[in-house]
Amino acid sequence: MSNEKRCTKCRRSKDFSEFHRDYRGKSGLGAWCKLCVKESQTKFYAIAENLEEKNARTRAWYRRNKKDVLKKNKIRYLKNRTRILSKGISLDGRLVLLLRKESSKKRWWT
* 32-55 per-position pLDDT tens digit: 999 999 999 888 778 877 788 888
Q: Are strands 4-6 and 19-21 parallel, antiparallel or unpaired?
A: unpaired
Structural domain boundaries, residue 25: 4-45
Judge if pTM exceeds 0.85: no
Residue 18 lies in a domain: yes
The model's pLDDT over 7-28, given as tens digits with 9 standing for 90+, comes to: 999 999 999 999 999 888 788 8
Is residue 24 in some structural domain?
yes
Tell whether 70 is covered by a domain. Answer: yes
Bridge partners, 4 (sequence order): 15
- Domain assignment present for residue 104? The answer is no
pLDDT in the model for residue 94:
52
Q: Would you state the torsion angle of the CA atoms of residues 11, 16, 22, 24, taken in this order, to the nearest 10 degrees?
A: 80
The conformation of residue 74, written as its DSSP 8-state character, comes to: H
Counting the structural domains of the chain, the total is 2
pLDDT for 1 equals: 58
Q: 3-class SS at 2?
A: coil
Same domain flag for 8 and 39: yes
In a domain, 50, yes or no: no
